[in-house]
Structure 1
Amino acid sequence: MDAKKLIEENNRKRELLTPENEAYYSDMMIYIRLQWRLSEQQSEEVLMEMLDHLLEGQEEGKTAKDIFGNDPKGFADEIIEQLPKEKKREAVPFIAGIIGDTVSWVLMIRGVLLLVLSKFIEVKTEINLFVVAALAFTITCFVILTIRFIFRLINNSLFKENRKTKRDMLKAGLFGAAGMAVVILVVKWVPEIGPSFNFPWWASLIAGAILQLILYVTKKK
């Protein structure tokens, strides 16, 4: 099975675990999946083998600790060391997909905002290429840093009995607010250098929708 089907099968089989075993296994599963440099296919195959082994042991009355030991993080680290790294040509589309998805939503949101605001006030539909490039670079950095920050928060919360979920959510919210503040400052303070052209709401909406459709078709393939 490919990685997508393995994930679906994993989700189905995890429902058969006891709450204790499911919590133990899920922490290891998330921890391994967060290592995005690893081969997704190989990671999911190993996770499925671990799950099948755990289910067999569970039928014999064993717990996850009996099977994998009292140090799930250490056990997961040993597995991670043995898994092959993801090929760069497979990692690049993943990052490009995130950036493309962000840009498409920015375009569509811009189109909707211009359409709504134009009913009440006079709006500026002209855009400057230099400002757009600076904004695109800022948003891309913001998205990548946000993903890394959230991954780190999740990673630090694993294998702990007393998880501070609310505190982590607050941290993520503050980080996101800080990032949005930087984006707003870029829009306000970056000078308009070079050519500008008219980009009305309908063109922005259509461009975003087309980009979103391209990403959808690409993911399906």
Structure 2
Amino acid sequence: MPAHLLLVDDHTLFRTGLRLIVQDHPGVGPISEAGSIAQACALPQRDVRLILLDIQMPGMNGLDGLRPLRDAFTSARIVLVSASVAPDAVRESRARGADGFLPKSASGEDILEAISLALAGLPCFPAASTPVPPTPPGAGQGAPALTARQLDVLHLLCAGKPNKVIARDLGLSENTVRVHVAAIFVQLGVNSRSAALLAAQRLGLVHWPVADAPH
């Protein structure tokens, strides 16, 4: 089921731009917006699964707003967004209990990948911070929770097709395919296509010979 996402930033123009990026993520459904912590906590929806929260806001800032937002949206993961990329800002965000950190200078692809990680239950901090360990294959109960579209992408990926061809065959943009591939890697606990094929075969998701794997 697509995730309900909440954007909290006092700049309407930035929220609009961010919405245009995140709405292309296949795992994102409804998108709500708020200009402050108070407005966010007053929203009637409580099914929010991911919050992108600006740090620098008038009144209560994002760091101080982590606790009230967690109280209001108990199942949501919270990724802080900041114009600063200073190591101290990243460390404080982690220390305060944020689930991730995104600089406002991040590319659209980086933002979508961070959303994939966050929705998969993994931290998404800059690579210069503490590296994110992959989830071991089979660590969850049973097979990974891949969507029908992710399974389509996985089958074509395991057949050795590049993102451009997968996008053409499925009628998707290359960017959307990259997001699906990143999410598949997270779910399988791998970091390469050949490893994804081996994991998919082991889990019974694909059945063709390993020799068909991309090299």
TM-score (norm 1): 0.21
Greater strand share, structure number: 2
- Structure with larger Rg: 1
TM-score (norm 2): 0.21
